Structure 1
Amino acid sequence: MASEKVEVVVVGGGQAGLAMSEHLSAKGVSHLVLERARIAERWRSGRWDSLVANGPAWHDRFPTMEFANAGPDDFVGKEQVADYFVDFAKQIHAPIRCGVEVTSVVRLQGKNAFQIDTTEGTIEATSVVAATGPFQKPVIPPVIPAEAPVQQIHSNEYRNPDQLAEGAVLVVGAGSSGVQIADELQQAGRKVYLSVGPHDRPPRSYRGRDFVWWLGVLGLWDLAAMEPGKEHVTIAVSGAEGGKTVDFRKLAHQGMTLVGMTAGYEEGVVTFADDLAINLKSGDENLQSIFDAADAYVERTGIDLPQEPEARMQTLDPACVTDPVRALDLAAAGITTILWATGYVQDYSWIKADVCDDKGKPKHQRGVSTEPGIYFLGLPWQSRRGSSFIWGVWHDAKYVADQIEIQRSYQQYPG
Structure 2
Amino acid sequence: MTSAHHVPVAIVGGGQAGLSVSWYLGRAGIEHVVLESHTPVHAWADNRWDNFTLVTPNWHCQLPGYPYAGSDPDGFMTRDEVVAWLADWLDTFTPPVRAHTRVTRLQNRPEGGFELTLQTSAGSETLTCESAVIATGGYPLPVIPSFAGSLDPAVVQIHSEQYRNPSQLPDGAVLVVGTGQSGTQIAEDLHLAGRQVHLAVGSAPRVARFYRGRDCMTWLAEMGVYDRPAQQYPGGKAAIEKTNHYVTGRDGGRDVDLRQFALDGMKLYGTLADGRDSTLHFDPNLRAALNAADSVYNSICSDIDAHIEREQISAPPATRYAPVWEPEAEPINVDLAAENVTSIVWAIGYRPDYRWIEASAFDGGGRPMQTRGITAVPGLSFIGLPWMHTWGSGRFLGIDRDASHIAATLISGHHESVLRLAVGH
Residue aligned with 2:63, SS: coil
Question: Could you tell me how far 1:68 is from its partner in structure 2?
Answer: 6.5
Residue aligned with 2:330, SS: coil
Corresponding residue of 1:23: 24
Deviation per residue, 1:326-349 (Å, 9 max, x gap): 221111011111110011112222
Corresponding residue of 2:336: 330
Corresponding residue of 1:410: 416
Q: 2:259 aligns with which of 246, 249, 252?
A: 249
Q: In the aligned structure 2, how far is the partner of 1:131 from the partner of 1:281? A: 37
Does residue 360 of structure 1 match 2:366?
yes
Corresponding residue of 1:168: 173
Letter in 1 for 2:292: S
Corresponding residue of 1:194: 199
Does residue 315 of structure 1 match 2:323?
yes
Corresponding residue of 2:54: 53
1:122–1:68 distance in 2 versus 1, CA, 3 Å: farther
Deviation per residue, 1:238-285 (Å, 9 max, x gap): 111111111111111111111111011244211111111111111111
Moved more, 225-234 or 168-177: 225-234
Mind listing any 5+ residue stretches in structure 2 that lack a counterpart? none
1:350–1:265 distance in 2 versus 1, CA, 3 Å: same
Mapped contact 1:298–1:304 kept (Cα < 8 A): yes
Q: In the aligned structure 1, how far is the partner of 2:110 from the partner of 2:384? A: 29
Q: 1:373 aligns with which of 367, 376, 379?
A: 379
Corresponding residue of 2:113: 113
Aligned ranges 1:374-389 → 2 under 5 Å: 374-389=380-395
Q: In the aligned structure 2, how far is the partner of 1:283 from the partner of 1:238? A: 15
Q: In the aligned structure 2, how far is the partner of 1:35 from the partner of 1:384? A: 26
Question: Could you tell me how far 1:308 is from its partner in structure 2?
Answer: 4.8
Question: Could you tell me how far 1:394 is from its partner in structure 2?
Answer: 1.8
Letter in 2 for 1:361: R
Q: 2:131 aligns with which of 127, 132, 154?
A: 127
Moved more, 285-294 or 298-307: 298-307
Deviation per residue, 1:282-307 (Å, 9 max, x gap): 11111111111111111111222222
Letter in 2 for 1:136: P
TM-score normalised according to structure 2 size: 0.91
Mapped contact 1:196–1:279 kept (Cα < 8 A): yes
Deviation per residue, 1:172-214 (Å, 9 max, x gap): 1001100010011111111111111111211111112112211
Corresponding residue of 2:12: 11
Mapped contact 1:52–1:239 kept (Cα < 8 A): yes
1:63–1:410 distance in 2 versus 1, CA, 3 Å: closer
Aligned ranges 1:143-154 → 2 under 5 Å: 143-149=147-153, 150-154=155-159
Residue aligned with 1:49, SS: coil
Residue aligned with 1:115, SS: strand
Mapped contact 1:198–1:234 kept (Cα < 8 A): no
Corresponding residue of 2:144: 140
Residue aligned with 1:367, SS: coil
1:74–1:25 distance in 2 versus 1, CA, 3 Å: same
Question: Could you tell me how far 1:3 is from its partner in structure 2?
Answer: 4.7
Question: Could you tell me how far 1:369 is from its partner in structure 2?
Answer: 1.8
RMSD: 1.9
Q: In the aligned structure 2, how far is the partner of 1:389 from the partner of 1:34? A: 21
Count of aligned pairs between the two proteins: 410
Mapped contact 2:298–2:321 kept (Cα < 8 A): no
Corresponding residue of 1:393: 399
Mapped contact 2:173–2:343 kept (Cα < 8 A): yes
Q: In the aligned structure 2, how far is the partner of 1:79 from the partner of 1:33? A: 24
1:233–1:55 distance in 2 versus 1, CA, 3 Å: closer
1:52–1:354 distance in 2 versus 1, CA, 3 Å: same
Mind listing any 5+ residue stretches in structure 1 that lack a counterpart? none
Aligned ranges 1:224-373 → 2 under 5 Å: 224-225=229-230, 227-228=235-236, 229-230=238-239, 231-309=241-319, 312-318=320-326, 321-373=327-379
Q: In the aligned structure 1, how far is the partner of 2:310 from the partner of 2:363? A: 44
Question: % of aligned pairs identical?
Answer: 37
Deviation per residue, 1:127-180 (Å, 9 max, x gap): 000001124111112233355232111001111000001111111100110001
Does residue 157 of structure 1 match 2:157?
no
1:248–1:11 distance in 2 versus 1, CA, 3 Å: same
Q: In the aligned structure 2, how far is the partner of 1:303 from the partner of 1:63? A: 32
Residue aligned with 2:117, SS: strand
Letter in 1 for 2:7: V
Residue aligned with 1:368, SS: coil
TM-score normalised according to structure 1 size: 0.93
Mapped contact 2:9–2:132 kept (Cα < 8 A): yes
Corresponding residue of 2:74: 73
